[in-house]
Amino acid sequence: MSGGEGFKRSSSGRLLAAAVALVAISGCGGHRDDDDDPVPPSGAAVVFFDDFSGSFPGSRWDVLSGDPFTSHQEGNAAPSLILNPVDDSILVRGDFVFTSETAVTLAFDMASFEVQSGSEFRFLVVAAGSGIVDASFETRPFVDEVFVTIMDVQFTFDLVPSTSFDFVEFTIDPDGLATWWLNDVAILSRAGFPIDLYEIDIETHGGEFTVIAVDNVMLTRP
């Protein structure tokens, strides 16, 4: 490390704190098959899906800041969206709006290829009218921390960054119970999720050594 802005190559090790005890939930979210292809929950309808094999941003995304790009060498499986905020933080917004009035599942894969002390990644569920963030999945990979929030509740746990992709989901069930999942493990749950119109934001902060990848963004309904 030098100049207070040390960087480290992501580890392949995994460390997930004992978060399962936080919530008592039966069942699980979506899953992966043996080829790591995205698999919707049983019987679900796919409303939105992007594996970043087409043009970017195209009609699916709005790039509000930074210079994200797609790579055909990395992904789960390749290609994927590469977030490397060399000169400017990156903010990408999905060009679609969805309602939380009925059950919904948001899913994506993410990996950290290079991180430094200022590296941050955020996947935000944002109320389209007010801009209020009602749910978030945030990582600070240099210090091996993940923060998940649902409304006014936050939970923090340890996760060593990896070049292997993690599978993240945010679900809202028919009764308004919202849950964050990581690799099919329930992390945080909160009842009474607001009924509103939502959009998703993907943010990355850091510098020239920050390289985070996102793949297989999918929205499904039962």
Please give the tally of structural domains in the chain.
1
Q: pLDDT tens for residues 130-162?
A: 999 999 999 999 999 999 999 999 999 999 999
pLDDT over 50 (residue 23): no
30 is a domain residue: no
Torsion, Cα of 49, 55, 60, 63 (10° steps): 130
pLDDT at 87 (0 to 100): 81
Per-residue pLDDT averaged across 51-61, rounded? 95
164 is a domain residue: yes
CATH number, domain containing residue 82 = 2.60.120.200
Q: What tokens does 212 get?
A: 């985070």
12/93: higher pLDDT: 93
Torsion, Cα of 28, 30, 31, 33 (10° steps): 150
32 is a domain residue: no
What distance in Å separates the CA atoms of residue 150 and residue 135, rounded to the nearest whole number? 4
What distance in Å separates the CA atoms of residue 24 and residue 10, rounded to the nearest whole number? 31
99 is a domain residue: yes
71 is a domain residue: yes
Q: What is the CA radius of gyration of the chain?
A: 16
pLDDT at 195 (0 to 100): 97
Per-residue pLDDT averaged across 105-125, rounded? 96
Per-residue pLDDT averaged across 90-113, rounded? 97
At 129, is the pLDDT very low, low, confident or very high (cuts 50, 70, 90)?
A: confident
pLDDT at 17 (0 to 100): 34
- In sequence order, the β-bridge partners of residue 146 are 139, 157
Q: pLDDT tens for residues 153-212?
A: 999 999 999 999 999 999 999 999 999 999 999 999 999 999 999 999 999 999 999 999
What distance in Å separates the CA atoms of residue 184 and residue 115, rounded to the nearest whole number? 25
SS3 content of the chain, % helix, strand, coil (to 5): 5, 50, 45
At 44, is the pLDDT very low, low, confident or very high (cuts 50, 70, 90)?
A: confident
35 is a domain residue: no
What value does the mean pLDDT of the chain take?
86
4 is a domain residue: no
pTM for the full model? 0.84
At 116, is the pLDDT very low, low, confident or very high (cuts 50, 70, 90)?
A: very high
Domain that holds residue 212: 42-221
Does the CA dihedral 93-196-191-151 come out positive or negative? positive
22 is a domain residue: no
pLDDT over 50 (residue 1): no
